[in-house]
Structure 1
Amino acid sequence: MAPPGGGPADRSFDAVVLAGGRARRLGGSDKPGTPVGGRPLIGWVAGAAAGAGRLVVVGPPRPGLPDAVVVREDPPGSGPVPALRAGLPEVRAPWTVLLAADLPFLRASHVAALLDAAAGAGAGGGGAGAVLVDQDGREQWLAGCWPTGPLRAALAAYEGGSLRGLLGPLRPVPVALAAGERPPWYDCDTPDALVHAERLAAPYDP
Structure 2
Amino acid sequence: MAGMTSVLAVVLAGGLARRMGGGDKPLRMLGGQPLLNHVLARVGPQVAGVILNANGDAGRFAGYGLPVVADPVPDHPGPLAGILAGLDWAAAMRPEIADVLSVPGDCPFLPADLLARLRAARAAAGVPMACAASGGWTHPPVALWPVALRGELRAALLAGERKIDRWTARFGCASAEWPAEPFDPFFNANAPDDLAEAERLLSSGLAGPIGTASRTISGDLP
TM range, smaller chain: 0.7 to 0.9
- Structure with the bigger percentage of helix: 2
Deviations 1:17-76 (A, max 9, x none): 11011100111032111122233212222222213223121113424421x211112547
Amino acid at match of 1:204: I
Deviations 1:150-203 (A, max 9, x none): x31431331212222222323211110123232111111111111101110255
The corresponding residue for 1:6 is none
Tell me the TM-score normalized by structure 2.
0.76
Structure 1 unpaired stretches of 5+: 1-8
Aligned equivalents of 1:146, 1:82: Cα separation in 2: 13
Aligned equivalents of 2:180, 2:189: Cα separation in 1: 16
Aligned equivalents of 1:77, 1:40: Cα separation in 2: 23
Structure 2 unpaired stretches of 5+: 213-222
- Specify the SS of the correspondent of 2:139: strand
Tell whether the 8 Å contact from 1:119 to 1:129 is kept in structure 2 after alignment: no
The corresponding residue for 2:51 is 56
Greater relative contact order (Cα < 8 A, sep 6+): 2
Aligned equivalents of 1:170, 1:47: Cα separation in 2: 31
- Specify the SS of the correspondent of 1:141: strand
* CA RMSD of superposed structures (Å): 2.2
Among all aligned residue pairs of Structure 1 and Structure 2, give the percentage whose two residues are the same amino acid: 31
Change (3 A) 1:38 1:117: farther
Give the aligned length.
191
The answer to whether 1:113 aligns with 2:117 is yes
What is the deviation of 1:87?
2.7
**Which structure 1 residue ranges, 4+ long, deviate > 3 Å from structure 2?**
74-78
The corresponding residue for 1:143 is 142
Deviations 1:96-155 (A, max 9, x none): 10111111110332232223323444xxxx22121111202x220111112221x31431
The corresponding residue for 1:82 is 81
Aligned equivalents of 2:211, 2:135: Cα separation in 1: 29
